[in-house]
Amino acid sequence: MESNVSQAERYVKQLLQEKLTPDHYYHNLPHTLAVVDSARLLSARHDLSEQEREIVELAAWFHDTGFTTIYEGHEEVSAGIAEAFLQNTGMKEDDIEEVKRLILATQVDHTPTDQL
């Protein structure tokens, strides 16, 4: 069975390629790939559990998907896109909420409260 991360990778790549307008010079697929790579590196460096790594990586994949529909407030839309996708994978609701929390933590005025 394919992992949630692999499914998300395929979905997000297609979504960003098909739905982002050409004026997204920074928040685009190459940016998302760089964020995912950094998330993987930091997860390994900080010795996160397998479950924590999955949550961090899923948040990295989905963090800018909201740009496909809106600029201001894209984080909330991104969290909603992630939630809808992950509910279809059978992921536990608590883990989905954690992915959403991490996506919302990418807002400019957010102050981190924990390692994730």
Whole-model pTM: value is: 0.95
pLDDT band at 25; cut points 50, 70, 90: confident
- pLDDT for position 6: 97
Q: What is the pLDDT of residues 34-88, one digit of tens each?
A: 999 999 999 999 999 999 999 999 999 999 999 999 999 999 999 999 999 999 9
Domains and CATH numbers, the chain: 4-17+25-104 (1.10.472)
- pLDDT for position 2: 87
Angle between helices 74-87 and 93-104 (to 10 degrees): 160
- pLDDT for position 26: 87
* Closest to 40 (Cα-Cα) out of 50, 53, 59: 53
Contacts of 116 by beta carbon, 8 Å cutoff, 6+ apart: 48, 52, 55, 56, 98, 102
